[in-house]
Amino acid sequence: MTQEKVHKEPLLRIAKRDSIPRPKAWAIRIVAVLLSLVVSGVFIFAVTKLNPLQVYQGIFEGAFGTSKRSWVTIREAMMLLCIGVGLAPAFKMRFWNIGAEGQILIGGIVTAGFMRTFGGDISTPVLLVIMAVVSLLAGAVWGMIPAAFKAKWNTNETLFTLMMNYVAIQLTSYFVAVWENPVGSNTVGVINQKTRDGWFPAIFGMDYGLNVILVLALTVGMFLYLKYSKQGYEISVVGDSENTARYAGINVRKVTIRTMAISGAICGLAGFIAVSGASHTISTSTAGGRGFTAIIVAWLAQFNTFVMILISFLLVFLQQGAIRIASLYNLNDYASDIITGIILFFILGSEFFINYRVILRGGKEGSK
């Protein structure tokens, strides 16, 4: 006589959502941010015995406490946004471009080279246009290399683009050594510091006004490109299914190479903005890890470039605020980074509850 096994229903089940209303998705994100502030407050009090509200005030002052800090926050947010916009088409195509760091450095190298070589010989407006074009081209070529290998031999784009970062870092080190100023400093120094040839001009009295204009123009342009253009539609189809794209008559190889050229070009332009519009020098830290941080920006925004604006400002706000409270309350970098990490953990975790539902025992699969 056989006994039938009784399978007990689990206490919790996870089911993927078909869709979720946008207001509900944003409500989940807002709740996640509020919860992160509560947990961070508990951590702050437990470790430092400080009033969490004072610490949060310090974070705000670190990002927007003075006019200078506000503009630094805006400048850094624009850089992060520019890279996120560059990553959006590649990621939407499911091409994992982890090489933004290298593409930024390549754009920065050619920008610094033109600033050093032609500064003073060519008027700054013309030089800026030339540097923008060559940085776009350099970034596009750097992005097309892994795309061509992927299209031809189906190489792993994640490893390929990641390794190209290290090639770009070594190239940057080489040019820093060649352009060393002063000799023995192992730095390029501020390029054209006295003449400001090749520097972004102030717009309406704002040093970083042109940075904002360029990046916001890119943001709008990329949104329209991905949402309304034929090429944007092809990117979406290839990202959903390459087999479906081929069945629809889309040349997957062509779309792959073209999209990575666009992605690399915009990241290369970010290098131009970093060198000509911000630091006015080139070094291995010019990208500063932004190429990896921008991955979070692109994914959290679901490739919507307008949403990227909010996320870029949030991440930079936390970063600048963490620096401030570390010095203001004599906290080490680890403590301030933990606070930032807690907030990011809750924000990233909220995406799970947006995409999935937790069903209690006895709950119905079809319930929202």
pLDDT tens-digit readout, 315-341: 999 888 888 888 887 777 677 778 888
Residue 44's region, left for phi above 0, alpha for psi from -120 to 50, else beta, is alpha
DSSP letter string, 296-325: HHHHHTTT-HHHHHHHHHHHHHHHHHHHHH
Query: If we measure between CA atoms, which residue out of 213, 285, 239 comes closest to residue 88?
Result: 239
Packing angle, helices 333-355 and 305-328, rounded to 10: 150
How far is residue 137's CA from residue 265's CA, in Å, rounded to a whole number?
6
Q: Mean pLDDT, to the nearest integer, of 245-250?
A: 94
Could you tell me if 105 and 167 are in contact, meaning their C-beta atoms sit under 8 angstroms apart? no
Percent residues over pLDDT 90 in the chain: 66
Packing angle, helices 67-92 and 100-118, rounded to 10: 120
What 3-state class would DSSP assign to 45? helix
pLDDT at 287 over 90: yes
Chain length of the chain: 368
Tell me, what's the pLDDT at 367?
46
Of residues 4 and 99, the one with the higher pLDDT is 99
Strand (E) or helix (H) holding 79: helix 67-92
Confidence of residue 1 (pLDDT cuts 50, 70, 90): very low
How far is residue 81's CA from residue 170's CA, in Å, rounded to a whole number?
26
Peptide bond into 201 cis (omega under 30): no
pLDDT at 6 over 80: no
pLDDT at 170 over 70: yes
pTM of the model: 0.91
Quote the distance between the C-alpha of residue 246 and its chain's center.
30
Beta bridge partners of 119: 122
How far is residue 261's CA from residue 267's CA, in Å, rounded to a whole number?
10
Task: Return phi, psi of residue 284, to 5°.
Answer: -65, -15
pLDDT at 26 over 80: yes
How far is residue 251's CA from residue 248's CA, in Å, rounded to a whole number?
9
Say which residue the tokens 């919507």 belong to.
304
Q: Mean pLDDT, to the nearest integer, of 201-212?
A: 88
Q: What integer best gives the mean pLDDT of the chain?
A: 90
Q: Where are the domains of the chain?
A: 82-301
Beta bridge partners of 357: 15
pLDDT at 294 over 70: yes
Burial class (CB in 10 A: 0-12, 13-18, 19+), 141: middle
Q: Mean pLDDT, to the nearest integer, of 151-170?
A: 96
Q: Mean pLDDT, to the nearest integer, of 267-296?
A: 95
How far is residue 89's CA from residue 87's CA, in Å, rounded to a whole number?
6
> Residue 308 contacts by C-beta under 8 Å, 6 or more apart in sequence?
81, 84, 85, 88, 219, 297, 298, 301
> Residue 116 contacts by C-beta under 8 Å, 6 or more apart in sequence?
179, 191, 192
Beta bridge partners of 16: 356
Of residues 269 and 206, the one with the higher pLDDT is 269
pLDDT at 252 over 70: yes
Question: How many angstroms separate the most distant Cα atoms in the chain?
Answer: 97
Tell me, what's the pLDDT at 249?
95
Confidence of residue 7 (pLDDT cuts 50, 70, 90): low
Confidence of residue 242 (pLDDT cuts 50, 70, 90): very high
71-126 pLDDT, tens digit each? 999 999 999 999 999 999 999 999 999 999 999 999 999 999 999 999 989 999 99
Tell me, what's the pLDDT at 363?
57
Task: Return phi, psi of residue 74, to 5°.
Answer: -65, -45
Could you tell me if 146 and 159 are in contact, meaning their C-beta atoms sit under 8 angstroms apart? no
pLDDT at 3 over 60: no
